[in-house]
Amino acid sequence: MLRIGLTGGIGSGKSTVAARLLERGAVVVDADRLAREVVEPGTPGLARIAATFGPSVIAQDGALDRAALGAVVFEDPAARRTLESITHPLIQARTRELFAAAPPEAVVVHDVPLLVELGMAPNYHLVMMVHADEQVRQDRLVSDRGMDPQAARSRIAAQAGVVQRRAVADVWLANHGSRDELAAAVDRVWDARLAPYNRNLLTGTRAALTGPARLVPPDPTWPAQAQRLINRLQHVLGDRAVQIDHIGSTSIPGLAAKDVIDLQVGVAQLVDADEPGFIADLAAAGFPRMAGNTWDSPKSWSPDVANWQKRFHGGSDPGRIVHVHVREIGSAGWTAALLFRDWLRAEAGERAAYVELKRSLAASSATTGEYAEAKEPWFDQAFERAREWSGHSGWQPS
């Protein structure tokens, strides 16, 4: 089951996106609808609200007077937290029921207005963000919902800003045009990413680069992309992952690289990574275990291959190629990955030499495997220089 978190600021067009995803076959779980459902007349939720906030928030017909309740909680953070302590557990329980009822092959879209504010992003395989500029959103709220301009500005200001939204967004849907244009953008994401991701997830298939190795210019968003993935892995693995790091070429600012995010999961003992639950949880999260690739090439300063054992998982998302290397904390392979990253971050001359090597080998290699193998002799020498650097710099693995 592919879990998608859908969110966006008020007036962004999120509901339009949810409707289009439903048309494409997704199961949509609407948090706003559930929030209304759990406080309908006769529910325990409404009874608790009435007992907490008084009869003034109950309309004559026995339903919740949302305007009256909003007037109480909107400007009072303590009252809002009290309300959330009543409604959130009820909404969460109902959400779990609907997720459990969805077919295992479904794409389940969780439509959550406050996904960013509630820190829910790591719960999903992907987060889709619908965005429009503040003035566009304000105009929509005034024209489409009849909202007072000042009230519209206040509602927008109370939500997360663009920086916070971009930090969690895997898919960014800009909505400044027509509904048809937005629907077409959703269709492109569905066809190119969501549907194939779901197929990969169901079959335990990883997404991979094909053909010759191709270097791309450094992408300043690589670290943020890596952090989103790290947050997901930490959410899934909990304390089974002692440490998770962004490693490899995309972790080094300014370095051209294959467009692959490499992550290193440090475990207390490598046998932990072979536990069935560890493997199954990563696979369900979109990182299936790949056969082979169980050791790194030993270097002269630690020639015993036992010190270079690892496990390898690939990401199933075709929109973001990910390699997950699981290594034991303190092993030669774990230490070398961090050393190589930090050495290249610190040494501009070595970065430049590495880029030239990468470009030369990419131009002459027929496949990414051939490209990787051709780099090994350089790595053998480079690690000697890196170890010398670590000695005089006082470097220690973080």
* pLDDT of res. 326: 98
Max CA distance (Å), the chain:
81
Q: Domain 2-203's class?
A: alpha beta
* pLDDT of res. 146: 85
* pLDDT of res. 143: 83
Q: Bin 144: left if φ > 0, else alpha if -120 < ψ < 50, else beta.
A: alpha
Residue 369 counted as an annotated binding residue: no
Pick the CATH number of 222-393 from 3.40.50.2300, 3.30.460.10, 1.10.286.10, 3.10.560.10: 3.30.460.10
User: What are the tens digits of pLDDT across the range 168-212?
Assistant: 999 999 999 999 999 999 999 999 999 999 999 999 999 998 888
> What parts of the chain have a pLDDT lower than 70?
none
* pLDDT of res. 9: 87
| Amino acid symbol at 371 | Y
> Could you give the C-alpha distances from 357 to 262, 351, 388, in angstroms and in order?
19, 10, 21
Between β-strands 27-30 and 107-111, what pairing exists: parallel, antiparallel or unpaired? parallel
- Of 171, 83, 85, the C-alpha closest to 121 is 171
Those residues with Cβ within 8 angstroms of residue 168's Cβ, 6 or more apart along the chain or in another chain: 115, 116, 121, 127, 129, 228
Residue 358 counted as an annotated binding residue: no
Domain boundaries, the chain: 2-203, 222-393
Cα 256 to chain centroid, rounded: 23
* pLDDT of res. 50: 95
Cα gap 393→386, rounded to integer Å:
10
Residue 310 counted as an annotated binding residue: no
| Amino acid symbol at 22 | L
> Could you give the C-alpha distances from 63 to 37, 161, 257, 361, in angstroms and in order?
11, 33, 59, 70
Percent of the chain whose pLDDT exceeds 90: 78
Cα gap 11→131, rounded to integer Å:
9
* pTM, rounded to two decimals: 0.91
Residue 11 counted as an annotated binding residue: yes
